[in-house]
Structure formats: structure tokens, C-alpha cells
Amino acid sequence: MEYILEPKEKALVSLAKDEDFVAGFMNMQALLHIEGLWVDSDYRGKVDFRMLVKRMTDALPKGMDYFAFAPTSEIGTICKYVHMEQMPWGVYRGRT
């Protein structure tokens, strides 16, 4: 069995090949997601998170998915406030 990494512009594809037969594959791609949230303590309660998200999403093509990871309940509350849908997935991390 041969294992091949096929680099692409915005993704990697790893193939398990038995001669010319593809026995399996896995891909890794960049995931557009909201990350990094900070508000100065003097402005907490005054910054409109919906407007922050709107400025970013207005720059995206219509119908494009984006995500946010919510490691705390506070971040989850903000995600709900900006009308994001909670997904039923678990999040797993790998490290090289």
C-alpha cells in the first residue's frame, strides 16, 4: 500500500493506494472560522458583536459557511447572540 500526499492550494489530500486503486483517502482543509475576540474593559457592554460579524460576513460570498469554536459558555452565548447555529459535532485537535 502506498500513501501519497497531494498538496492543493487550500487543502491537502492523503491517499491510500494499492497500485492504481484508491483504497481510502482523507482531506484537510482550511476552515473559515471566527477566532480572536477582545473588547477593552471600558467598552464591555457597548461593542455590538452583531456589527463586528456583519462587517466580516458582508465581505464573504453569499451562502458561504463559517464557524466559531466556543471553549467557554460566554463565547457560546455570543455565537447565539449573532444568530449562529450550534452544531452537534465534537471538536477534536491533532498536533504535528
Predicted model pTM: 0.69
Question: Does residue 47 share a domain with residue 8?
Answer: no
Q: Which structural domain, as residue segments, surrounds residue 38?
A: 31-88
pLDDT above 70 covers a percentage of the chain that reads: 90
Q: Is residue 3 part of a domain?
A: yes
Quick check: is 96 in a domain? Answer: no
Task: Answer left, alpha or beta for residue 22, where phi above 0 means left and psi between -120 and 50 means alpha.
Answer: beta
Q: What's residue 28's pLDDT? A: 82
Best CA proximity match to 69, nearest among 94, 33, 28: 33
Q: Is residue 50 part of a domain?
A: yes
35 with 21, same domain?
no
Is residue 67 assigned to a domain?
Answer: yes
Whether residue 38 is found in the same domain as residue 82: yes
Residues 64 and 40 in one domain: yes
- How far apart CA 83 and CA 96 sit, in angstroms, is 34
Q: Which residue has the cell 500526499?
A: 5
